[in-house]
Every structure is written in structure tokens, then in C-alpha cells.
Amino acid sequence: MATNIKGPALFLAQFADDAAPFNSLPAIAKWAASLGYKGVQIPTWDGRLFDLEKAASSKDYCDEVKGVCNDAGVEITELSTHLQGQLVAVHPAYDSAFDAFAPEAVHNNPAARQQWAVKQMQHAAKASRNLGLDVSVSFTGALAFPYLYPWPQRPAGLIEEAFAELARRWKPILDVYEENGVDVGYEIHPGEDVFDGATFEMFLDALDGHKRCTINYDPSHFLLQQLDYLAFIDIYHERISAFHVKDAEFNPDGRQGVYSGYQGWVGRAGRFRSLGDGQVDFSGIFSKLAQYDYDSWAVLEWECCLKHPEQGAAEGAPFIADHIIRVTEKAFDDFAGGETDQAQIRKMLGI
């Protein structure tokens, strides 16, 4: 049976703010709906919008949250735990920077911060089930990323041990997701140990192919790495459970390339852009996903170094809607067909 991508939907993280209408779930959901969005992806770390611990323990609270969204005219697509997932595995080089993602009580205490993050991930599994969601989205975190470029040469076994440890940390978490019937769609992203197809395979192998280890597909990160993001869908479509619709552009010159010379976002060769302003082939992506019967949400993650977020959000809903393919249940040449006639078939084959 033909399936259709759902959407458009909006990831709320980049829009949440202390000013109305971005400071509460009822208000921001109504704002999103007014722009034409049919779904919202909720960042679970933002207490202005969502109480994760309460959602994990209270089905009534989750029903209330769903009701708020439904009254506004949107569905909840997924819960996002990007910041908490990042903290499941942090190399000491990043301790100071990533403390900002956690409560002050666990700052300067990496072990306590990790325990907090693991508990948060477990809460998200239970909250997702209470909300009737089958997928959540997150990051893997990173232990090996400082050693991305092998100079000085990496000692033998360093990468293997990093992925073994990453799997040791995630396996018990993913088992909780299995108990609740929820997938974790990892956003494959530079800064994580899982940043491309090869590293995803390494992670999946270390997890012994855990069924809840899936992919939140975001082509912007692949374009900036100069990876074939359409072929990626061919290879990994069975593991793609979520989709961030985000644009980017890559304009190398005589001064910089993929690494972008430590420049700010405006001056980088690789930049995130609003939908339609970059170079990502979304017609190709939506066609590929339709070909492989992807039937979940297309969620705008807005990030742009130039355009105002509210303009990006307003333009994003019709852009996604225009790219969603209504999958056909007929073959284009059905008109020329006929009833199967075994005698005719044998005659045509000369047998």
C-alpha cells in the first residue's frame, strides 16, 4: 500500500523564547499552526514548553499536552533529547562547554552530569510512550571526535574502544526504549561520534544491531561534509525513522573548504540556510523517501546565518508542503494494460 510523508512540521527548539508567543506550548503551537504546520517536535529540555519528568510518570499530563496541541491544530511528531543525548558521552575537552546543557547542580561533575543525562533519556522513552509516539530524536554524544583527523597518528584500538564504550553507555538506554516500543532516531552530525554512514555502521555493530538504533535524517550535515546524501537514503532507508528538513550551502574557494577556517557562520564556506536558499536537492530527497515508503514526519529544523527565524518559519511550511509527494497507487501505463491471459503470454513468448 502506498504511503505518504506527513507534514509539514516544525522543530520548536530554535523558536522558544521568553517573549510571547514563543514562551508557552499553547501559544507557540497556535503560532506554528497559523503558518500552516501540522505537527511540532518538542525540545524536552525547555521547561517553558514541556515537563519531561512529569510526562514520564503521568499519562494524564501527556493527555493534557496532546490536547493543548490538538486544540491549536497540530500533532506532536517526536520528542527531542538532543542536549541530553549529547551528555551521555562527553570527551573531557568539551566538559566546560557542555555543562551549559545540564542543570547547575551537576556542573563541574562529569559523572553526575552523565547520570542525569541517562535518566533524562529514560524519561523520554516513557514520556514518548505516554504520548503515543513511536520515535524520538537525539544525539549520540562523542568520545572520539577530538581525534577525527589522524595527526598525530591515532594509536591502534583507540577508535574501536571509543565505539565500544559508546555502545556500553547506550545499550541500557536503548533497552528502555525497546521496553516502551520507541525508536531513537540519532541525528548524524559532526561533533558526534556518529557523523556519517561509516560511523553509524560502527555504532550499530557495537550495539549488535539494536533494533531501536535508527536515524534522524538531516541532509544539511551531509552536504557540508560533501557526502552523497541521496545515496545515503538508498543505503540506510530501513533505519531512517525521522527527517529534519534543513538546507545548507557549500562554496569552497582558494582560502577555505570543508573545515571553513574557523570563520563565523556568515564567513564560512559551509553554511546553514533557510529552506530553498541553499543547495540541498529536496526534490530528490522527498522522491527517495517516497520510493522507500517513509511514512513519518518532515520536520523543519530552522537554522540560517542570514535570514530571520520568523521569515524562515513562514516560508518553510509551504516549501515542505510543496515537496511532499502524494504517492500514487496506480502505474502510469495502466491504461495500456489488460487482463492476464496465460495462453496469450505463452504465445508472445513463442512457447
CATH 3.90.550.10 fits 6-349, yes or no: no
Structure pTM? Answer: 0.95
Rounded to an integer, the average pLDDT of 271-276 is: 98
Kindly tell me if the per-residue pLDDT of 16 is higher than 90. Answer: yes
> Residue 338's pLDDT band (boundaries 50, 70, 90)?
low
pLDDT tens-digit readout, 90-115: 999 999 999 999 999 999 999 999 99
pLDDT of residue 173: 98
pLDDT tens-digit readout, 186-202: 999 999 999 999 999 99
pLDDT of residue 331: 65
Strand duo 297-300 + 6-11: pairing = parallel
pLDDT tens-digit readout, 154-182: 999 999 999 999 999 999 999 999 999 99
pLDDT tens-digit readout, 30-62: 999 999 999 999 999 999 999 999 999 999 999
pLDDT of residue 339: 76
Of the listed ranges 77-91, 299-313, 330-344, the one predicted with least confidence: 330-344
Q: Residue ranges per domain, the chain?
A: 6-349
pLDDT tens-digit readout, 119-133: 999 999 999 999 999
Rounded to an integer, the average pLDDT of 250-255 is: 98
pLDDT tens-digit readout, 277-287: 999 999 999 99
Kindly tell me if the per-residue pLDDT of 15 is higher than 70. Answer: yes
Rounded to an integer, the average pLDDT of 305-321 is: 98
State the chain's mean pLDDT as an integer: 96
What percentage of the chain reaches a pLDDT higher than 90? 94
Rounded to an integer, the average pLDDT of 225-230 is: 98
pLDDT of residue 330: 73
Kindly tell me if the per-residue pLDDT of 1 is higher than 60. Answer: no
What percentage of the chain reaches a pLDDT higher than 70? 97
